[in-house]
């Protein structure tokens, strides 16, 4: 999947960007690519809550991309300085508040005591021990990787959307993209969504 993301950058940078939608797509994809590199390192290094906190930024970028890449006028307004509130974007795109609240309330924001639960070690009546260094936890690692996989694929989907007319004329890209899409969709549906107690907002169709 990493190679497909890089291939996207290579193909879309060969020609000048045509409009503000493509400009928004390219810049947001670049921002996400950088975040996702860090998220992968966070997770495999055992800093699961840090990786999840960074995934909230990826989620916000994807949400903004979903909105902007379908509206040239709004893309131009964003590029010239307009601020788009996340709540407004979720309403426009049709997302519930569940994913954003989950990533914010437990991982990104310290407003609730829930934000320190990943750090808690042994607790008794008088002593609370906190985990200063990372520990490998198969369950938490697997859960973080679920979100990481879906965030990365969503980012690729949104990136390609603004360039799809050109991209789909490239037979290698078309073949690679369709192949990866089938693999990811099948894996997410069978290995993640069906087996998880968490509710995911994930696209099951190409944008």
Summarised one tens digit per residue, pLDDT across range 166-184 is 898 899 989 999 998 888 8
Strands (E), the chain: 120-123, 128-130
Q: Is 206 a domain residue?
A: no
3-class SS letters over 174-201: HHHHHHHHHHHHHHHHHHHHCCCCCCCC
DSSP-derived 3-state class of residue 31: helix
The whole-number pLDDT of residue 202 equals 53
Whether the Cβ atoms of residue 186 and residue 172 lie closer than 8 Å to each other = no
Nearest CA to 167 among 107, 207, 203? 207
Q: 10 Å Cβ neighbour count for 201?
A: 16
Residue 135 belongs to a domain: yes
> In this structure, is residue 77 part of a structural domain?
yes
Residue 203 lies in a domain: no
Q: What is the pLDDT of residue 123?
A: 65
Structure tokens at 121: 């070690």
Stretch 145-165: mean pLDDT, rounded? Answer: 91
Phi, psi of 33 (to 5 degrees): -60, -40
pLDDT of 63 reads 93
Of residues 96, 203, 88, 190, the one with CA closest to residue 150 = 203
The answer to whether residue 112 sits within a structural domain is: yes
Rounded Cα gap, residues 161 and 138, in angstroms: 35
**pLDDT above 60 for 19:** yes
Residue 22 lies in a domain: yes
The whole-model pTM stands at 0.84
pLDDT at residue 143 in the model: 87
Q: Is residue 198 part of a domain?
A: no
- What is the domain range of residue 90? 2-193
Number of structural domains in the chain:
1
Per-residue pLDDT at 95: 84
Residue with token string 């924001």: 109
CA distance 119 to 181: 36
- Are the C-beta atoms of residues 47 and 95 closer than 8 Å to each other? no
Average pLDDT of the segment spanning 147-171: 91
pLDDT in tens, 87-99: 999 999 888 888 8
pLDDT at position 133, please?
Answer: 78
Greater pLDDT, 84 or 133: 84
Asked if the structure places residue 199 within a domain, the reply is: no
């Amino acid at each position: 999947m990493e190679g497909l993301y890089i291939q996207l950058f290579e193909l879309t940078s060969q020609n000048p960007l045509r409009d503000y939608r493509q400009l928004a797509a390219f810049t947001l994809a670049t921002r996400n690519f950088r975040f996702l590199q860090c998220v992968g390192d966070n997770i495999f290094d055992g800093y699961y809550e840090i990786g999840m906190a960074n995934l909230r930024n990826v989620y916000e970028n994807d949400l903004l991309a979903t909105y902007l890449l379908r509206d040239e006028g709004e893309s131009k307004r964003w590029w010239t300085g307009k601020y788009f509130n996340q709540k407004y974007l979720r309403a426009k795109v049709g997302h519930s508040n569940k994913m954003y609240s989950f990533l914010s309330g437990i991982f990104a924001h310290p407003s609730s005591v829930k934000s320190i639960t990943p750090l808690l070690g042994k607790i008794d009546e008088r002593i609370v021990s906190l985990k200063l260094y990372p520990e490998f936890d198969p369950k938490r690692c697997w859960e973080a990787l679920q979100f990481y996989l879906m965030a990365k694929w969503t980012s690729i989907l949104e990136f390609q959307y603004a360039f799809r007319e050109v991209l789909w004329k490239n037979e290698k890209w078309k073949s690679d993209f369709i192949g990866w899409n089938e693999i990811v969709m099948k894996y997410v549906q069978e290995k993640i969504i069906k087996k998880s107690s968490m509710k995911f907002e994930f696209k099951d169709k190409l944008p």
